[in-house]
Copies of this chain bind each other. A is one copy, B any other.
Amino acid sequence: MLKATIKEVAAEAEVSTATVSRVLNNSLKVSEEARRRVNAAIAKLNYEPSAIARSLKQDRTFMIGVIVPDITNPYFMEISKGIEDTVGQSGFQLMFCSSDENTDKESRLLQLLNEKRVDAVVVATAGGNGSKIAGMSRSGLPVVLIDRTLENVDGLSELDLIAEDNAAGAYMLAKRLLEDGHTAIGVVNGPSWVSTGRERYEGVLRALNEFGIEQPPLVYNGDFTVEGGVRAVRRFWQSNRKPTAIVSLNNRMTFGVLLELIRKGQHIPTDVAIASFGEVEAGQLLKNPKLYYIDQQPYDMGKRTGELLLSRMDKQNQNADPHLEIFSHQIKCIP
């Protein structure tokens, strides 16, 4: 069956195509009689207005672009689920892309989303695109940063950000290990070009400093992957001062740390104590690991991101001051 056109609908209803368009866009400037005739013609001809054509008129695509480093990372997808559950009720759809922690790929994706005329952009940046992101926001496109700030502090003040209190969380974890009497602490760090990596490391250093630990800690710069945690333990065990405790600054790396320690026959926590930024559900299979972790709330972060997006897309709120929302943590323990 050929699709009916707007011209055929207008002819059937004996009105102009402009009137049909006004009915489709719920304009108030249409008589009740004309509206009735147009709706009857639409029903009779089984006319389906193209959502694309409508979005051109309304200047809305009802699409929100979401760029995350990795769509297979449950943390980012929990955030995304929170966003979807919130904005979906208002008819918005999410368009996802993975930057693969790659600055150039992220730059191309930003360009593409701009071309697609998305109504807003959410980005957990891989870093290096600060001026591009700030520029998109300045041109009037609502942009919300999640999890990670821009490397450029100047740009930061302009943009909405929903993130975690990374420094405070990492500080609490390191402090707990120090309070338990550990002095040889290994740090499994994230990449230094991502704000979460830098901030968490700063938190650890602050705790070490407060406890008067002068020797620089054993640090392995990982990449937020399981394999990174595995490699960190191998490196620590090759060194001539093995740590008695490890603070791991993301949950994927913590899983790798646990895996490699178990393979090496190490007992947790008697041989090595563990503190993790982010819960590791697998840790529940260990017997009394006394594993410290801070509980992240990605789904709630996503809900707040969704609410913020809806507010920003309302033109009245576009020029409001940047919204900064930092989720704090509590320290927990798998006993």
Contact = CB atoms under 8 A, between A and B. Distances in A.
Contact of A72 (B81, B94, B116, B285): B81
Given A56-B52, A61-B52, A98 B117 contact: no
Contact of A281 (B72, B88, B117, B255): B255
Interface in A75-115: 77-78, 80-81, 84, 88, 93-98, 112, 114-115
A229 to B, nearest CB: 12
Interface centre among A53, A70, A77, A287 (most CB of B within 10 A): A77
Name the interface size band of chain A.
Answer: 35 or more
A255 B56 CA distance: 48
A286 to B, nearest CB: 6
B285 A52 contact: no
A216 interface: no
B52 A116 contact: yes
A205 interface: no
A104 B260 CA distance: 45
16 contacts: A50-B115, A51-B115, A51-B116, A52-B52, A52-B55, A53-B56, A72-B80, A80-B96, A88-B97, A93-B97, A96-B96, A226-B281, A255-B281, A259-B284, A281-B282, A282-B282
